[in-house]
Amino acid sequence: MPLTKRPFYLFIGMISAFVGYILAPKTVDNETYFSILGVIVLLSSAILIIVFGLLMKKFKWEWLKNYALPLSMVGAMAMAILFATLGVR
């Protein structure tokens, strides 16, 4: 497996482990709802890892290989805080 594909495969593996939890309905105070926030965070993290992959490919930024996954996770966490502050559940 080429080294440039490893962050992407690691990301997909981590996402597949949590996709059931993200898509499962939540129950709080006898109210069941589907978490839009979880889906937004999942999609923003996927978009970020794709952007980092494109940056590595286009500009030959080899140093970004080690930081693509952590940066996409931190970026998605920041998006979660932003959207939760706006009232998205």
Q: Is residue 89, in this structure, part of any structural domain at all?
A: no
Q: Name the pTM for this structure.
A: 0.73
Q: Is residue 64, in this structure, part of any structural domain at all?
A: yes
CA nearest to 83, candidates 49, 43, 48: 43
What are 56-87's pLDDT values in tens digits?
A: 999 999 999 999 989 999 999 999 999 999 99
Q: Is residue 86, in this structure, part of any structural domain at all?
A: no
What are 11-42's pLDDT values in tens digits?
A: 778 777 778 788 888 888 888 888 899 889 98
Q: Is residue 21, in this structure, part of any structural domain at all?
A: yes
Q: Is residue 29, in this structure, part of any structural domain at all?
A: yes
Under 8 Å between Cβ of 44 and 79: yes
Q: Is residue 76, in this structure, part of any structural domain at all?
A: yes
pLDDT the model gives residue 5? 64
State the residue range of the domain holding 60. 3-81
Q: Is residue 87, in this structure, part of any structural domain at all?
A: no
Q: Compute the C-alpha angle 48/52/14, nearest 5°.
A: 60
- Total domain count for the chain? 1
Q: Is residue 88, in this structure, part of any structural domain at all?
A: no
